Amino acid sequence: MLVKFRSALPFEEVLEVARERLPELQAIGGLTQKFYLQDAQTGEVAGLYFWRSPEDLEAYKTSELRKTIPESYKIIG
C-alpha cells in the first residue's frame, strides 16, 4: 500500500513521528516493512507499507491509528 501526502512538517520531523508511532503500528500486526520517501522537487511524502495478508491490511485500514494520520503528520490539503 502506498500513501502519499503533503505535510507542514519538515521531512526529518515526519520521520520522527513515524518512529514514535512504530510500537502502535506493530501492535496491529502483519506489517513486514514500511518505507518513507520524499519527492525532492515537490516535497510530497509517501509511506510504502508491505503487509503479510489482505486481512492485515484491512485491520490497519480500520484501525484508530490510521484515523490519526492527518493530525499526527500535519497533513496539508
The pLDDT confidence band at residue 77, using thresholds 50, 70 and 90, is confident
Sequence-ordered list of residues with C-beta below 8 angstroms from that of 57, at least 6 positions apart, any chain: 1, 30, 49, 51
Half-sphere exposure for 59 (CA within 13 Å, toward CB): 14
> What is the reported pTM?
0.86
Provide the grid cell at 64.
484508530
Say if CB 65 and CB 26 are below 8 A apart: no
CA dihedral 9, 15, 19, 24 (to 10 degrees): 60
- The pLDDT tens digits for 25-59 are 999 999 999 999 999 999 999 999 999 999 999 99
